[in-house]
């Protein structure tokens, strides 16, 4: 981001000061395994000037998300992920439990469209 040069007066002396603009976070970190839903999120995010970084698997997100947290404006976690093979993909609660170990940086939402799965 850019810098703005200003001067402050202290007594009779003008002291130059450099102000740095605060960066605006524009990244949404998302755990989502539904490609159609993810495409809709990408379309909406683009309209809002946001970027989405997504993972279809909780274990991969946990392994990679820490370095991206400082740029996040929101973390969105799908509560229920569908298994795509023998490996359990985990879920949004797994990621939420991992994120508890970090300094809060942005809101975290856990969502699902699976009414039965939401009760676990």
Give the number of other CB atoms < 10 A from CB of residue 2. Answer: 6
Residue 30: which CATH number? 3.40.50.2300
Bridge partner residues of 30 (DSSP) = 54, 76
Asked whether residue 13 is domain-assigned, the answer is no
Q: Does residue 16 lie in a domain region?
A: no
| pLDDT of 90 | 86
Q: Does 1 map to a domain? A: no
Question: How large is the average pLDDT for residues 101-109?
Answer: 92
CA atoms within a 13 Å half-sphere pointing along the CA-CB vector of 116: 1
Establish if 17 belongs to a structural domain: no
Q: What's the whole-number average pLDDT of the chain? A: 81
Residue (of 1, 19, 112) closest to 120 by Cα position = 112
Asked if residue 2 belongs to a domain, the reply is no
Residue 99 belongs to what domain range? 23-119
Token duo for residue 100:
């508890």
Structural domains of the chain, count: 1
Each residue of 13-48: pLDDT tens digit? Answer: 555 555 555 557 889 999 999 899 999 999 999 999
Strand runs labelled E in the chain = 3-10, 13-20, 27-31, 51-55, 72-78, 108-111
Residue 32: its pLDDT value, please? 93
Beta strands 13-20; 3-10: pairing state: antiparallel
- Whole-model pTM: value is 0.74
| Within a domain: 44 | yes
18 domain residue, yes or no: no
Is 15 among the domain residues? no
- Predicted pLDDT at 102: 92
Residue 80 CA to residue 54 CA, distance in Å, equals 15
% of the chain surpassing 70 pLDDT: 75
What is the pLDDT, as a whole number, of residue 27? 94
101, 102, 106, 107: CA torsion to nearest 10: 0
């Amino acid at each position: 981001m850019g810098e703005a040069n200003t001067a402050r007066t202290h007594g009779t002396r003008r002291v130059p000061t450099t102000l740095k603009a605060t960066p605006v976070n524009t990244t949404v970190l998302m755990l989502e395994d539904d490609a159609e839903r993810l495409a809709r999120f990408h379309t909406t995010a683009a309209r809002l000037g946001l970027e989405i970084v997504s993972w279809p698997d909780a274990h991969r997100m946990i392994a990679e998300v820490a370095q991206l947290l400082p740029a996040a404006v929101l973390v969105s976690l799908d509560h229920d992920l569908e298994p795509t093979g023998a490996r359990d993909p985990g879920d949004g609660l797994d990621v939420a439990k991992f994120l508890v170990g970090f300094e809060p940086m942005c809101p975290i939402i856990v969502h699902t469209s699976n009414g039965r799965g939401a009760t676990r």
